[in-house]
Each structure stands twice: as structure tokens, then as C-alpha cells.
Structure 1
């Protein structure tokens, strides 16, 4: 479940459902989880960004962030937390692979 290295997609690419049903389902779970934690509608994670996270960073990292969201009680900005967490985990994984 490694992230797919893709060519830069158009902004509208992630507005459509993903062709892989399991990826689309995971993106929907992420979207709904972040939406349930957000008190303000403007701080939501969009469905397009949820799809982008799943495609760009892979199922493993998205499942990990879903688990962390479940464990943490008070997150000020859930959407921002998701982006920061996934990016930092991806960097850590790359460093680990480069050292091995």
C-alpha cells in the first residue's frame, strides 16, 4: 500500500469519484470523520482533498491518521492536523527507506 507517484492531476480530477471503490470508500471515511470533528463548516476537509490524500499518500497512512483521530479527543483544526500528520509520516517513511 505505498503511495502512487502520479503526474500532476488537474484540480478537477479529484472532484469525481475514484475508480477504485476501496480508495473511494476510504476517502469518504476520512471526509466524514474530519467533518464530525469540525465545529465550523469552513474548516472541513473537502471530499476532493480527502481523495487526493488517499491517492497521494496511500491507504496505510490514511488508515493510520483515522486511527489517531479516533484516539485524540481535542483537535483544534482536524483538517489541518490530517494534512500535517500525513506529510510528516510520509517524510519519516522516506527517511527510513533511504537509511535502509
Structure 2
């Protein structure tokens, strides 16, 4: 069985469990700014991420190193004020800071 991730969201960036060799691997998000971002786990397949401050950059990271197999990730963006929303992949060693723009100096803090 191939690894599989399914996820849904209502605001920013999403994710939840992965099935790999009959084991359920729970994945969590790294929230660099809990005052601006609210993460609510609904069930095994649904996590809602809400952004409180509309005009501030926010990045939420999935705390999972994906190193092999085929993975599926699903996101739904709603109520985006400036029409900017994205999902990206970075090296596991990359540290994403609170209030950063995800496209500015992306390799600045890599190992």
C-alpha cells in the first residue's frame, strides 16, 4: 500500500493523517504564531486553520518529513482577502519564521 495523505481546510493551509503499511501516522502542524493562527483538528482527516490578522503574512508548516512514496494532500482556501494563498515544499532543515513572506529569501536560514 502506498503512503497516502488526505486533508481539508477552511482558511489557510491544511493537512492530517497518512496511511502507511496499515499504520495511521498522525501529522501535526507547526504554528509559529498562535496569536494570529488558530489550528483546530476536527477529525482524523480534517484540520481547520484560521488566520486572525488579515493583512499579515502567515506560514504554517506540516511537521512531517516525506522521504519516499506517493503522497496526496488536499487544501481548500476560503475568504482570502488579497487572493494570495499557496502550498509549497521546502527542505526539512528550513526554518520558517512567524510573519515572514514565504517568497522572500527562501534559502536564508537553510543549513
Q: Structure 1 length as normaliser, TM-score?
A: 0.31
Higher helix share: 1
More strand by share: 2
TM-score, normalising length: structure 2: 0.29
